[in-house]
Amino acid sequence: MNEQLLLEHIRQRGPCSRAELARVSGLSKPTVSLALGNVERAGLVRTAGQRTGVPGRSARLYEIRPDAGLVLGLDIGLEYIRGAIADLTGEIRTRASLRARATSARARVAELVELADLLCESANVPRSALTQTVIGSPGVYDPRRNAMKLTGGLRGWDRPAALAGLREAFGPSLMMENDVDAAALAERALGHGRDVDNFAFVHIGTGIGMGLIIGGQLLRGAHGVAGEIAFMPLSGGAGADEHEVRKRGTLEVAASASGIVRAARRGGMRGPVSARRVFAAAARGDERAMAVVAEEARLVAEAICAVITVVDPDLIVLGGGIGRAPGFAESVSIELGRIAPVMPAIRVSALGTDAVVDGCLAAGTDLAWGLVLTTLPTASLGDGVRSLLRAQVRGSVEVKDRSAGPFGVIRCEVDDRGGDLLRRRDPVEGALRPDLLAPSGIQVGGRHVGEHVPRRHRGHRDAVRRQRAGHRLAERVQPRLAGPVGRVPGLAAERAA
């Protein structure tokens, strides 16, 4: 636990001396020295030189070892696939992109493997050295079918064989992330959302989607479809097409790039027509193109107004090829001002075409960090496995603090409302019992059970005593943290020892 605490401080603050770590952690200097020695031998930190120019002896600085973990982020687009590799410090080692030519799920998997190999070759690392892989893809994961759904125009990508092929190619460290949600995470980490806890990232391009950040966290919803505004029943204008509505959603069919092209052709534009050409013609004063762009701004403003009335965000960030088109944000703002009860700030994303990849790297770095922490001899269930559980459950996984001790448990929805968990002699064993776990709402509880045990529990006093003493999980309990947890498909907690 001390090792993890120091690693988190170094990760957040950058290079630190032993004295600084002792001060910010509240640990004694001998304890800090011992913990640093452990993580240094584990290859997770390294010395980063000496601090000079201050009174007293120069202090040795410690930083996270960048190559302690590597993250691969990939973005599946209709026209291009993009990717990058980053280390645990967030530094990008290499980027690359390939033209998407695949017409089947198998060919698309092969393209992603080709791009991954190209990136690994450029970064001079074998693919086996990757700690975590995150792929940003249209659609959301459907646990009932063990496949993606709502994948839009990616032919065959909603079949179970597509996800099975990805898992075979990239191994157990693979995580699938909705592409627009990934872009929202990138905006939170690197863009306009860095200092905003409540904002919506609205992507308008070949498809339409939204990533919603509430309270600083990505909101996925009970079924993972929070932000799938493509299915908002908003239509109108010449871009609508009833045949595609069920597959792609009413709003996406009317307001995506294909809807703009359809509206432009129905409006009388001739020759090669694309969304970019329509916007360029509107900028030159072409009345037919201007009418199409005005209708597009109206549809997007109506969708954003619906979002405002439900979650009232501080900020709306527009992304995608259409969302970032010159002058489009101003047109949307004008339309929104006419119908919205309040006006959030409207900004255009500055992250460009790499937003999805950057969001995958941001999510992957947190997951890789969780994997790295599980390699520590003193790693506790709460800190090290939190990210793993979140990725596999794809639901709410929350750690209250870093002090999961001998009574740390997996807090979750149980068939007896949790009472049985608190009365068992071995709370960890009780929490891992398959007949107690429900397949939703799982949380990793980092607090000691002693805080919640009723007075009549015979072990209450001992629980409080152990809690105050800061004991870790007993050796006899740690082996139970390996293997499947409950009856949740695909959920496994890595061994903490």
- Give dist(CA 412, CA 402) in Å, integer: 18
Place of tokens 């809807």: 259
pLDDT per position as a tens digit, 162-185: 999 999 999 988 999 999 999 999
- Torsions phi, psi of 80, nearest 5? -135, 150
More confident call, 458 vs 206: 206
pLDDT exceeds cutoff 70 at 28: yes
- Report which secondary-structure segment, H or E, holds 75: strand 70-76
| Neighbour-count burial for 57-85, b at 16+ CB within 10 Å, e otherwise | eebebbbbbeebbbbbbbbbbeeebbbbb
User: According to the model, what pLDDT value does residue 117 have?
Assistant: 96
Q: What pLDDT band is residue 455 in, cutting at 50, 70 and 90?
A: very low
In a 3-state reduction of DSSP, which class is residue 288? helix
In DSSP terms, 70 is beta-bridged to: 87
Burial class (CB in 10 A: 0-12, 13-18, 19+), 319: buried
User: According to the model, what pLDDT value does residue 385 have?
Assistant: 40
pLDDT per position as a tens digit, 386-444: 444 444 444 443 433 333 333 233 333 322 233 333 333 333 333 333 333 322 233 33
334-338: long-range contacts (C-beta < 8 A, 24 or more apart)? 334/297, 335/297, 335/298, 335/300, 335/301, 335/302, 336/301, 336/304, 336/305, 338/301
Angle at 149 between CA 143 and CA 151, to 5 degrees: 150
Q: What mean pLDDT is reported for the chain? A: 76
User: According to the model, what pLDDT value does residue 97 have?
Assistant: 95
CB 170, CB 212: distance < 8 Å: no
CB 304, CB 270: distance < 8 Å: no
Q: Which fold has domain 225-348?
A: Nucleotidyltransferase; domain 5 (3.30.420)
Determine the average pLDDT of the residues in 272-283: 93
Q: Specify the domain boundaries for CATH 3.30.420.40 within the chain.
A: 68-182, 225-348
CB 308, CB 338: distance < 8 Å: no
Burial class (CB in 10 A: 0-12, 13-18, 19+), 469: exposed
Domain 2-64, classified CATH 1.10.10.10, yes or no: yes
Determine the average pLDDT of the residues in 10-24: 84
Measured in whole angstroms, how far is the alpha carbon of residue 2 from the centre of its chain?
A: 27
User: According to the model, what pLDDT value does residue 55 have?
Assistant: 58
Q: How many residues does the chain have?
A: 497
CB 263, CB 294: distance < 8 Å: no
Question: Could you tell me the two tokens for 137?
Answer: 């893809």
Q: Amino acid letter at 298?
A: R
Provide the angle, in degrees to the nearest 10, between the axes of the packed helices 2-13 and 355-373: 150
CB 277, CB 268: distance < 8 Å: no
Select from 174, 234, 175, 177 the least CA-distant residue to 204: 234
483: left (phi over 0), alpha (psi -120 to 50) or beta: left
Q: Amino acid letter at 157?
A: W
Half-sphere exposure of 358 (CA within 13 A, CB side): 17
Select from 349, 314, 358 the least CA-distant residue to 216: 314
Question: Could you tell me the two tokens for 131?
Answer: 């700690």
pLDDT exceeds cutoff 90 at 270: no
- Give dist(CA 316, CA 182) in Å, integer: 16
pLDDT exceeds cutoff 80 at 216: yes
Determine the average pLDDT of the residues in 454-466: 39
Pairing of strands 315-319, 217-218: unpaired
Alpha-carbon torsion (85, 88, 90, 91), positive or negative: negative
Angle at 288 between CA 206 and CA 264, to 5 degrees: 30
Angle at 215 between CA 328 and CA 384, to 5 degrees: 120
- Give dist(CA 367, CA 360) in Å, integer: 10
DSSP, res 374 = T
Q: What pLDDT band is residue 1 in, cutting at 50, 70 and 90?
A: low
Determine the average pLDDT of the residues in 198-203: 97
- Give dist(CA 60, CA 116) in Å, integer: 37
Question: Could you tell me the two tokens for 110?
Answer: 């092969």
User: According to the model, what pLDDT value does residue 230 have?
Assistant: 92
Q: Specify the domain boundaries for CATH 1.10.10.10 within the chain.
A: 2-64
Domain 68-182: CATH superfamily is ATPase, nucleotide binding domain (3.30.420.40)
Measured in whole angstroms, how far is the alpha carbon of residue 287 from the centre of its chain?
A: 42
- Give dist(CA 337, CA 329) in Å, integer: 12
Q: What pLDDT band is residue 56 in, cutting at 50, 70 and 90?
A: low
